Amino acid sequence: MYETSTILFAFALTLGAGLSTGIGGAIAVAKKRPGPAFMAIALGLSAGVMLYVSFVEILPKAMESIGGWAVAGFFAGIALILVVDRLVPEDVNPHEPLQIQKDARSRFLKTGVFTAVAIAIHNFPEGLATFIAGLEEPEIAVGVALAIAIHNIPEGIAVAIPLREALGSRWKAWAAATLSGLAEPLGAFVGFALLMPVMGPVALGFVFSSVAGVMVFISLDKLLPTAEVTGRHHAAIYGLIAGMAIMAVSLLLGA
């Protein structure tokens, strides 16, 4: 159904997006960390890309395939990521604003490990979203992968900071942050294996609408609130608008 080159392209995008947690890990273990304005802009940019592509490109394509059922798929995607989010305790949820306090080494270790597991759970559906976009819509897949990669950077930071304190090793903290991102290509592989036998216009319509729901939830419930926590409201909004503009131009150029 798909050419080998198309599958490899989609998988490479997913792998790259997932391993961007390693960038966050590198930032966390380096002496110099990004300022609040940079983080606000980056998170806002990611949200802008996700929101625009979800409402303007992905959801309309799903409606072309399955009509009004795409609305059900959209909210099913939101319900899926909502359940996943609720299963992860707030104090170790990588999408909750990260606040580091002085604590015993054992608590830092526990926090780092649980955060890595939480990220793996969250990244599973994100990996499938990136992979499906790469298979079906290569012209928008790069933008989707970039948005998810940007939003994975703070997750890498969330893993690496407590593990650096617990293990006393920058290398081990960075490695753990990088490896936590492998859940995305794993999610792509497992999801593709399960969906391949039933892949068709109807199944793709539901998958695309669900992916749009997942991305909208992540943007509104995770990325923008975390950007706001930095205290740089306008920077977050400017990033949001810039992300939308970048995605709009890329779609127009690819049309």
Annotated binding site: 123, 126, 151-152, 155, 184
* CA–CA distances in Å: residue 27 to residues 33, 87, 103, 107, 131: 6, 28, 21, 22, 26
CB atoms within 10 A of CB 218: 27
Residue 235 · residue 37 · CB < 8 Å: yes
- Summarize the annotated binding site for Fe(2+) as residue ranges: 123, 126, 152, 155, 184
Q: For helices 105-136 and 201-217, what crossing angle results, to 10°? A: 140
- Summarize the annotated binding site for Zn(2+) as residue ranges: 126, 151, 155
Which string of DSSP letters, residue by residue, matches 183-251? HHHHHHHHHHHHHGGG-SHHHHHHHHHHHHHHHHHIIIIIIHHHHHHTT-HHHHHHHHHHHHHHHHHHH
Quote the tokens at residue 196. Answer: 């391949």
